[in-house]
Structure 1
Amino acid sequence: MDKSKKEDLRKTKKQENLKKKRLLTVFSIIAIVLFMLTSRLLYIQIIKREEYSKKAFKQWFCIMETIVDRGIIYDRNGKSLTSNVKEKFLVLEPGFKLYDKDTENISKLTGTKREDIINMLSRGKKIELLINNYNEKLIIEMLRNKGVAIIERTKRYTDNGIASHVIGYINKSTNNGVSGLEKYFNKELVENREKRVGAITDAQNRIIPGFGYILIESDEDTNKNIITTLDREIQQICEEELDEKNYTGSVVVLDSRSGDILAMVSRPNFRQDDISSHLESDEKELYNKAVQISFPPGSVFKIIVAAALLENNTIDLNDKLICQGYEMLGVNMIKCNSYNRGGHGELSFEEAFALSCNSAFIKAAQMLGGEKLIEMADRFGIGRKTGIKLEEETGGILPSIDYVKGPGIGNVAIGQGTIEVTPLQVARFTNVIANDGIDVGVRLVKGIVKNNGELLKEYNDKENNRVISSDTASKIKKMMRAVIEEGTGKRAQIQGVESYGKTGSAEAVGKYGETVHAWFTGFFLGKKSEYVVTVIVEDKGSGGRIATPIFSNIAKKMLEKGN
């Protein structure tokens, strides 16, 4: 091979080697770039995924409002006492272009007049309209428009809210409780309940059709709810009993053994979602009459008078008293219910209790003395709050010792004068008799629970206190049985069940002047426990005629339900 050919071959190999090196370099660079890109993508997708997702989310997600939801208030069986009804709203953002067809569709969905829709949108503010007529076809058609969305909210109260006076109500603008358990447990009910409502928007901050609203909720594991001692079924029985007769007043039902409040009713009722309609009313529908208003107890107070007389050995069941139909307290005549018949004549103390004889009780109380009577009333809790979790509770009025040193003792002996009690206090002192002289207290709230039902805090700080001897309680129980068998409470009889009670007809000053409130308080043995039922009906007169059938009806319905 000549020299020139060798040189050409050498140059060719050199060029091929150079090409290989160049290709290797290019491939190496590409590999490095690909590796760097892959690493970057892995870094973005895995390591920084959450951070970049949040940044991207913030760019296209616009928070429209922040909602602070509230915890649920349950009865003792875990049934909701606050509403959990979901409602859908049509949301129209400012700048929404309104056409005649849109106006017609909105009107069909919400029941709002077309002129009202146009007027609301002209103000340039976001509006929410409750969808009363859910029509999927119309809704899909509306959601094709920018600035239109559907949002779902939970309705806090129903129109005829159960246990409304116990639950209370909230200030809608601040979401804070104003009364009832809503107020007492406001902190717990709103804690960690913040929800953010937003939407996917375009560059002009208009909602993109089809996406609707997005709800971002807080950690549910930190949410708190309230579980009460109320029994929704028993509460409803009591409410219906007053509503059917259109009575105003109150009913309280206790589980005698535990002191748990199973029902607490106040009438007239009110709409928790429409408080403004009640603000100018003089019907006191916003007051919880079971605890917030005190009344003269009338003859139901004779339970405490009897306890004082028997405990101090002033009198016994068979001791005789004379009733002439009235007693003079200074210049005032206090009539007995037997006044028109010339009095009861001679009768035993047990008969005087059963027949609710005012004359006999005034004479017996005068023998006892005012100081001992007031001391006994104090032991039964008169003049003090019971301590349930309602800030609006009043303690009633316990007369002063000075008041009962003179003629005042005659008034107090029959539950009149300056003494005042709440229906809950009456139920509580009735329960002392049912529990053989022991006060087991009263309880409205069992505790605080998580959404999954786990108990976070229990309220069980009641103490049992002996108020009177079991012997005294037994004698009063015997007299309360006589009230129903042969006295003023015959209408409280329950077939096949022994019941015990005391009637009362309390003179008071009402809305239209002097009036008489009807009382009955008693207890009966049910299938699961013993129950105390206390009833007051305002402005209806005789407790034996008006309040006793309510007691009987409630007891019968409770027994029918297996209580």
Structure 2
Amino acid sequence: MQPKRIFWTLLIFAMVMTTWLGRLAWIQLAAPVDWTHAAVRQREQSIVLHDGRGDFADRYGEPLTGQVIHAAAVFPVRDASRSDELDRFEVLAEILGEPATVRGDVPFLWQRSGDVTPVAMTEEQRMLVEQAQLVGVQIVPYSLRYAAPFPAAHVIGFISQHPQMLETLYADELRKGTVRPDQKIGASGLERTLEPIIRGRTSEEIAVHVNGNGELLKGLGVRMQASANPYYPLKVTTTLDRGQQLAVERVMDESGHTHSSAVVVLDAKDGDIRVMASRPSYHPLQVNPAGEDWRNRAIAAETPGSIMKLAVAAAVWEHGTLPDSHLFECNGHFGAYGLSCWKTGGHGKLTLEEAIAHSCNVALAQAMLSLTPQQFEETAAKLGLGQQVGPVWERGSGESLRLLDHEQAGLLYAAPHLAEDEGARVQTAIGQRDARMSPLQAAVMLQPILHDGKLLAPQLIKDIRYANGTTAYRIKEESPVRDALSRQTARQLRKALEKAVNEGTGRALADMRWPAAGKSGTAQTGAHKEKEHHWFAGYVPVEQPRYIIAAVVYDQPPGSVHQGVRLFRKVAEALMSADEQGANRSDG
């Protein structure tokens, strides 16, 4: 028995040794882990300076995200030559201001108390920190994803941690370790719609290597770690104009319309979205997901009031249901539908063109009933009503990507059968009851009026480029064009909009230096009509239009001064003044 026992003992020992040596060989030669690198990383402390996510820029290349600042990176390393470890914190506090939290065990970027972003160092502060020669303190270029005053925050959107969505989108990458479990993803705006394309694939970090005592390892010190990949991060060039965007947002804030308002500015020539602003605003780094501030009101559908009358008039002229010489009779009331005109006693006799200019409810109700439901719906659809009109990126192979996050399509009627109900139809004709429209739709509806009936689809993204400047995706070739109206109808509507400013409901704009044309709307809202939405959609200047502007101020007291007209005027003046002073550059 003794030889057998020795044999089995040696055999088991040999098998264990073979397994152990095989495992060791696999670790050294075949395992997908660089153990030398891992050993170094064990003693590494790092700060991410850029997470590799694609950044956004305006039409001229001015940054909308990813502003680079110089910040102080602080690493928890010991200096054996100094007795007081807190000295460097005191020096930094004197130069940069008190940090929110001094974290002694993890590296951090210096920030003042209450701030959520690092201190952007001035040239003088940088010089003072360099002269102090503080161990474990390094001045670094840090990319601020969002920087005040956060231009076009509602269009760009924000990123946040969302483990569930991360697992849904990047399950394979998470398992491979190419996506971090704490990585942030797009939660709204372009950040969300372009998430799969602009997500971070590389990162730039600064790191220090320390020994077991927390002292810097000789020969390693502080190192910048950046990917050598020449293609990432990407850069998304939008059609927005950063200067114009900030000017419009400043006008909205200074006018006191921070509670609830929206402005859309389109380039009248090609349909590009130059400005899209929404109020109230929000801080992209301190978002309350349960709140409403981060939602983009420029693409949210609301009761439009008399803006809808343009679609009714267009349908009448397109289908010829009434002769141009037809005179409507307005005595202030209309039939049994409880509809009345805003002007006491009515407007008397007036043409359809005059009815648009003076925004006569009774005349437009009569005009609506001259149409069949199909005629009105057909024309409204051609003008972009009742559907999403925002830019669509056709990526090929039948794949389409809507760029405006959560854009609403609006409504003509709450249910299809109401199109046959005369009461519902006349209420829709004046933009009340179930009718819904977004400021973007109001702006787009004016496009064919300026282009002899051709509707130019609005554009938001010009292209997406690799880090080396070469083009990854060319999105905007030229604005897609489709026929919306006849040339004759477009000209009639243009005359009506000019008349509205010269002698109708837009007379408050008649003395502008740069003549404007457009249509106002006052929508009664709330269960008891206790609030009004004030709309104005128009263009400037009349002779050679540069900008189409839709301005809306929501939830105003009934009977108050029309804030939509006022906001339109201030926005138009800000844009045209900047043009006149040569503040805008050519697209080159």
* TM-score, with structure 2 as normaliser: 0.76
Moved more, 442-451 or 366-375: 366-375
Aligned equivalents of 1:125 and 1:221: distance in 2? 31
- Whether contact under 8 Å (2:88, 2:134) holds in the other structure is no
1:143 equivalenced with 2:134 (yes/no)? yes
- Whether contact under 8 Å (2:306, 2:521) holds in the other structure is yes
1:214 equivalenced with 2:237 (yes/no)? no
Counterparts of 1:105-254 in structure 2, within 5 Å, are 105-112=91-98, 117=102, 120-121=103-104, 124-130=105-111, 132=119, 134=125, 136-137=127-128, 141=132, 143-144=134-135, 149-171=138-160, 173-202=182-211, 204=213, 206-207=215-216, 213-219=222-228, 221-223=230-232, 224-247=234-257, 248-254=260-266
1:355 equivalenced with 2:358 (yes/no)? yes
Moved more, 382-391 or 415-424: 382-391
- Whether contact under 8 Å (2:515, 2:542) holds in the other structure is no
TM-superposed deviation, 1:185: 1.9
Moved more, 148-157 or 419-428: 148-157
Match of 1:404 in 2: 419
Aligned equivalents of 1:371 and 1:550: distance in 2? 35
Cα separation, partners in 2 of 1:113 and 1:387, compared to 1, 3 Å: closer
- Whether contact under 8 Å (1:61, 1:198) holds in the other structure is no
Match of 2:305 in 1: 298
1:395 equivalenced with 2:378 (yes/no)? no
Moved more, 386-395 or 465-474: 386-395
Q: 2:489 aligns with which of 454, 457, 472?
A: 472
Aligned length, in residue pairs: 493
CA offsets per residue over residues 275-301 of structure 1, 9 Å max, x none?
A: 1xx4454xx21111111x211111011
CA offsets per residue over residues 471-520 of structure 1, 9 Å max, x none?
A: 1111111111100110001123364544321110011239x973101101
Cα separation, partners in 2 of 1:513 and 1:335, compared to 1, 3 Å: closer
TM-superposed deviation, 1:101: 3.7
TM-superposed deviation, 1:430: 1.2
Match of 2:346 in 1: 343
- Whether contact under 8 Å (1:518, 1:542) holds in the other structure is no
3-state SS in 1 of match to 2:281 = coil
Match of 1:367 in 2: 370
Cα separation, partners in 2 of 1:528 and 1:414, compared to 1, 3 Å: closer
TM-superposed deviation, 1:554: 2.3
Aligned residues: percent identity? 26
Cα separation, partners in 2 of 1:433 and 1:313, compared to 1, 3 Å: same
Aligned equivalents of 2:578 and 2:540: distance in 1? 15
Moved more, 183-192 or 89-98: 89-98
3-state SS in 2 of match to 1:561 = helix
Paired amino acid for 1:435: H
3-state SS in 2 of match to 1:536 = strand
- Whether contact under 8 Å (2:126, 2:139) holds in the other structure is no
Counterparts of 1:507-518 in structure 2, within 5 Å, are 507-509=524-526, 514-518=530-534
Cα separation, partners in 2 of 1:542 and 1:422, compared to 1, 3 Å: farther
Aligned equivalents of 1:459 and 1:258: distance in 2? 15
Aligned equivalents of 1:387 and 1:447: distance in 2? 17
TM-superposed deviation, 1:532: 0.7
- Whether contact under 8 Å (1:148, 1:209) holds in the other structure is no
Aligned equivalents of 2:40 and 2:96: distance in 1? 33
Match of 1:325 in 2: 332
Aligned equivalents of 1:56 and 1:374: distance in 2? 66
Paired amino acid for 1:426: A
TM-superposed deviation, 1:60: 9.5
Cα separation, partners in 2 of 1:454 and 1:100, compared to 1, 3 Å: closer
CA offsets per residue over residues 91-134 of structure 1, 9 Å max, x none?
A: 242778864544533432453379x64xx44xx44444326473
**What stretches of structure 2 of length at least 5 have no aligned partner?**
1-34, 112-117, 162-181, 392-402
Cα separation, partners in 2 of 1:428 and 1:204, compared to 1, 3 Å: same
Paired amino acid for 2:146: Y
CA offsets per residue over residues 407-464 of structure 1, 9 Å max, x none?
A: 1011101011112111111111111211111111111111112335433321137431
- Whether contact under 8 Å (1:438, 1:466) holds in the other structure is yes
TM-superposed deviation, 1:544: 7.8
- Whether contact under 8 Å (1:143, 1:210) holds in the other structure is no
Paired amino acid for 1:143: L
Aligned equivalents of 1:234 and 1:530: distance in 2? 13
- Whether contact under 8 Å (1:503, 1:520) holds in the other structure is yes
1:71 equivalenced with 2:54 (yes/no)? yes
Aligned equivalents of 2:241 and 2:315: distance in 1? 34
3-state SS in 2 of match to 1:538 = strand
Match of 1:438 in 2: 454
Aligned equivalents of 2:308 and 2:221: distance in 1? 63
Counterparts of 1:398-547 in structure 2, within 5 Å, are 398-399=412-413, 400-406=415-421, 407-460=423-476, 462-493=479-510, 495=512, 497-509=514-526, 514-525=530-541, 530-540=546-556, 545-547=562-564
Aligned equivalents of 2:228 and 2:510: distance in 1? 53
Aligned equivalents of 1:452 and 1:229: distance in 2? 21
1:378 equivalenced with 2:381 (yes/no)? yes
3-state SS in 2 of match to 1:474 = helix
Instruction: Looking at secondary structure, tell me which structure has more helix per residue.
Output: 1
Cα separation, partners in 2 of 1:107 and 1:210, compared to 1, 3 Å: farther
Q: 1:104 aligns with which of 79, 90, 106?
A: 90
Moved more, 474-483 or 348-357: 348-357
CA offsets per residue over residues 43-98 of structure 1, 9 Å max, x none?
A: xxxxxxxxxxx979986995434742322211111111114131413424277886
Aligned equivalents of 1:527 and 1:208: distance in 2? 71
- Whether contact under 8 Å (2:151, 2:246) holds in the other structure is yes
Paired amino acid for 1:175: K
- Whether contact under 8 Å (2:315, 2:375) holds in the other structure is yes
3-state SS in 1 of match to 2:230 = helix
Aligned equivalents of 1:528 and 1:220: distance in 2? 47
* TM-score, with structure 1 as normaliser: 0.79
Aligned equivalents of 2:512 and 2:184: distance in 1? 49
TM-superposed deviation, 1:150: 5.0
- Whether contact under 8 Å (1:370, 1:401) holds in the other structure is no
- Whether contact under 8 Å (1:92, 1:126) holds in the other structure is yes
- Whether contact under 8 Å (2:428, 2:434) holds in the other structure is yes
3-state SS in 2 of match to 1:171 = strand
Cα separation, partners in 2 of 1:220 and 1:354, compared to 1, 3 Å: same
TM-superposed deviation, 1:220: 5.4
Larger radius of gyration: 1
Aligned equivalents of 1:530 and 1:316: distance in 2? 33
CA offsets per residue over residues 14-40 of structure 1, 9 Å max, x none?
A: xxxxxxxxxxxxxxxxxxxxxxxxxxx
RMSD over equivalenced CA pairs, Å: 3.2
TM-superposed deviation, 1:530: 2.9
TM-superposed deviation, 1:336: 1.3
